[in-house]
Amino acid sequence: MIERMLVANRGEIARRVQAACRARGISTAAVFSDPDAGARFVLEADVAVRLPGSSPAETYLRIDAVVAAALACGADAVHPGYGFLSENAAFARAVLAAGLTWVGPTPESIDAMGSKVAAKALVAAAGVPVLAELDPASVTEADLPILVKASAGGGGRGMREVHALAELEEAVAAAQREAASAFGDGTVFCEPLLRGARHVEVQLMADTHGTVWTLHERDCSLQRRHQKIVEESPSPGVDATTRTRLHAAARAAAGALGYVGAGTVELLLGDDGRLAFLEVNTRLQVEHPVTEAVHGIDLVGWQIAVAEGAVLPAEPPAAHGHAVEVRLYAEDPSQDWRPASGTLHRLHVPGVDTEFGVPPGAHGLRLDSGVVDGDEVGVHYDPMLAKLIAHGPDRASALRRLVTALRGAEIHGLTTNRGLLVGLLTHPAFTTGGVDTGWLDARDPATLVAGPARVDLAVLAAALVLAERGGSRRATPTGWRNLPSAPVRTTFTHGDDEHVVDHLLVHGRLQSAGDVDHAGVELVSLTPTGAVLAVDGVRHAFRVAVHGAQVEVDSPLGAVSLRWQDPLPEPRAVLAAGAMVAPMPGAVVRVSVTQGQLVAAGDEVLVLEAMKMEHRVLAPTAGTVASVAVAQGDQVAAGTVLAVVSADVPEDAAEPAEERA
């Protein structure tokens, strides 16, 4: 019996495993990097051991340091979570060699699936359909389009689509860099890109006594850049015959491996019914809660039980209802999925029935999060904040519950993909079950974001609340006015837009309201935390939270994040015309221009790596590179000047290469 479990991971999955351990009376141990010293998963563990350093390579990917930490804190078992070392056979062997219990499949199974190239050959021999493997060095025009994939790891990292041979060399190099950074292995390979396919996977759970469960399939087709953001079970439109084929393929793969523990067989399902093997994830998946919901089981609990030698029942609990999960990321989909960092002031989702477990009733809403109010979200790790899972008697009810929860959530301090998630879950293509793996990447995400219905009302409510709080330097507390006075002016920015509100309250009544016509708007009530406005007789309640210059307005009309413009700002340095600044903290992995070079608008100037993904920084306008302020390998903070592109072009300057061509 396991007495103390070391969770060799961080964030949401560390908290998930800790919750399962606590439910079984198992003591928990955490390891943490320096940026994670105050993280929730560290504070909730019974004991914790520091791994000095910040990057994954220095900390969570160091086998020797993690095993030493387990021994130092008296752990007798290790759960790897997902990501990091979870699919590293050397880590599993090191844990076992140290006399500890490994909560996962055998090192031999991990080895067999650790190389996607070898894995495809193994399962193909067992009768599982696979796509042809292509050597990057021998790809021809006839092979296109193809997908470059990391042989180790997953989660969309180390993957690039190639539609022209001219793109291949850089796609391979970028995939190798990402894979090496995320998994410690830069090996990549290529395979045909199957268009119009859906991503469908089957959950495995197997014990050491020969029992293998294949649980209801999950559909993970709604992806951005090969990273899943919405998952559900069962897969819409999959009939009984296809489900039988999916389970048969999963059982064949499990049999070829002699599989033990939790794992997932991932496949592509073509619109013609064709199946093609992707990989076996020899670990727990991010999307495991949807399977837990429809089957009413605790997969992490079963992982622990199997590691202790338990026998699975002959058949798993029957599936019921429908579950949908979304991944809430700190990122801006409209800005090339730019990750966000900073303080998460507030994360509250109304109507949550449980965290890190199956809801107590037949159906419900679940939240799994690695962060809480006040936490700092850094740049070293994945930007996922939380997973929200709705389970209902059918797909429509689960989607409605999930959309309602997202719309009502209070998420303050960071830009997130919440608006995009709402837009996707309500899009006709998704609600009818018609999306494939390429659907989202083929669209501009900015056009899919569900924005607030009335920004103007939110801005007015924010201005009124700021004045009530005395937050504007020109605002006089409204309760002390007994005669008409000059209007109070408050200026906000919302995205790229500026909003100026001039309002005047006389005996508590709203007299004027600035740059937007608010005829027909009545102030019903006002407090330091909110306002109720009536529009043509219909009342709307606005909750207003002020975090320094950041003002967050939540209402049934939609969430609005504003920046209050101080009328008497502190002086600050003025950037040179054409200066390009770092949109986020990160590391410079490539500088693509030199001083004096002519560039066109949209040309790549450099590449930053942040949160384990690469982000291209592009020239905002055509001109000449006046200066380059950073070099490859530099660590930069958000707002750091990276380069300056002057709009002046010398008469004898050469044209950009692509224009010359």
Report helix, strand or coil for 185: coil
Closest to 584 (Cα-Cα) out of 620, 606, 629, 615? 615
Residue 195: per-residue pLDDT = 80
> Given pLDDT bands bounded at 50, 70 and 90, which one contains residue 653?
low
Show Cβ contacts of residue 524 under 8 Å, excluding neighbours closer than 6 positions.
531, 532, 533, 534, 539
Q: What is the mean pLDDT of residues 372-397?
A: 94
CATH of 455-564, one of 3.30.700, 3.30.450, 3.40.50, 3.30.360: 3.30.700
Show Cβ contacts of residue 460 under 8 Å, excluding neighbours closer than 6 positions.
501, 503, 513, 514, 516, 518, 521, 533
CA distance 332 to 339: 6
- Give the predicted TM-score (pTM) of the model: 0.85
Residue 657: per-residue pLDDT = 44
> Given pLDDT bands bounded at 50, 70 and 90, which one contains residue 611?
low
Which residue shows structure tokens 């041979």?
Answer: 165
Residue 189 corresponds to which tokens in the numbers above?
Answer: 């390979």
> Given pLDDT bands bounded at 50, 70 and 90, which one contains residue 486?
low
Q: Would the pLDDT of 62 be above 90?
A: yes
Q: Does domain 4-103 have CATH number 3.40.50.20?
A: yes
* Mean pLDDT for all residues in the chain: 90
Q: Structural domain boundaries of the chain?
A: 4-103, 113-131+194-447, 455-564, 579-660
Worst-scoring range by mean pLDDT, 213-222, 435-444, 493-502?
A: 493-502
CA distance 133 to 117: 7
CA distance 495 to 332: 11
Residue 574: per-residue pLDDT = 67
Q: Would the pLDDT of 566 be above 60?
A: yes
- What are the pLDDT digits (tens) for 101-155? 999 999 999 999 988 778 889 999 999 999 888 888 889 999 998 989 887 766 6
Residue 376 corresponds to which tokens in the numbers above?
Answer: 């700092």
Please provide the DSSP assignment of 375-422 as one string: EEE-SSS--EEEEEEEEESSHHHHHHHHHHHHHH-EEESS--SHHHHH
DSSP assignment letter at 187: -
Q: Would the pLDDT of 659 be above 60?
A: no
Please provide the DSSP assignment of 292-326 as one string: HHHHT--HHHHHHHHHTTPPPPSSPPPP-SEEEEE
Q: Which residues pair with 54 in a beta bridge?
A: none
Torsion of CA 225, 226, 228, 231, to 10 degrees: 120
Residue 511: per-residue pLDDT = 64
Side-chain-side CA neighbours of residue 135 (13 Å): 2
CA distance 121 to 131: 10
Residue 661: per-residue pLDDT = 38
Q: Would the pLDDT of 660 be above 50?
A: no
Closest to 51 (Cα-Cα) out of 71, 65, 67? 65
- What are the pLDDT digits (tens) for 403-432? 999 999 999 999 999 999 999 999 999 999
> Given pLDDT bands bounded at 50, 70 and 90, which one contains residue 570?
low
Report helix, strand or coil for 249: helix
DSSP assignment letter at 96: H
Report helix, strand or coil for 212: strand
Which residue shows structure tokens 């998952």?
Answer: 231
Q: Would the pLDDT of 482 be above 90?
A: no
Which CATH fold would you assign to the domain 579-660?
OB fold (Dihydrolipoamide Acetyltransferase, E2P) (2.40.50)
Torsion of CA 106, 108, 111, 113, to 10 degrees: -70
Side-chain-side CA neighbours of residue 206 (13 Å): 26
> Given pLDDT bands bounded at 50, 70 and 90, which one contains residue 489?
confident
* CB atoms near residue 502 (< 10 Å): 15
CATH of 113-131+194-447, one of 3.40.50.2300, 3.30.470.20, 3.90.1150.10, 3.40.630.30: 3.30.470.20
CA distance 25 to 28: 9
